[in-house]
Amino acid sequence: MFRVAARARFRYGEYMEVAGSAVQGGAAGGHWGLVVLLRNKGTETCRMQGWPEVFGLDENANLAGGARHTLSGYLGGVTSNELPVIDLASGGITSALVEGTSVNGGQVPCTQYHGLEVTLPGGDDLTKIDGPFTSCDGMQVHPVVPGTSGRQNS
């Protein structure tokens, strides 16, 4: 699990604690994923919907590429065509899945990110998650969903 020490204040609620947890790529291999976990550390319920903004960071901590907003990908995401609306109670957890591939088939060079910078939906503050992460076809980020897997239950 990647640990993030930052807390961020958002328009729609109180303080959130953010952490990242690596997930395995699955049967076809060559895929990697990171579940961004969000825990409501405040006393009020927060409403959340949409995508976090995710950017790769180079060796000097400069922005080196952003993740595409997609509903779902190889590892998970949203199973419907609608964005979930989450009312996150105090102590509740929600998550978003970031994914990419680490195999390129020799077509294009892969990009090595030394970390990720994450801004949550509706948020102003940034959180950094240490890498490394390799992406051969860019990164995708899926919307926030209830629970800790980054995957919406059908």
What is the pLDDT at residue 72?
Answer: 94
pLDDT tens column, 19-66: 555 554 443 577 888 888 888 877 888 888 899 889 999 899 888 889
The model's pTM: 0.82
CB 11 within 8 A of CB 56: no
Domains of the chain: residue spans and CATH: 7-146 (2.60.40)
Cis peptide before 132 (omega within 30 of 0): yes
Give the HSE-up count for residue 148: Cα atoms under 13 Å, Cβ half-sphere: 12
CB 33 within 8 A of CB 98: yes
CA distance 21 to 119: 16
Cis peptide before 143 (omega within 30 of 0): no
CA distance 65 to 33: 16
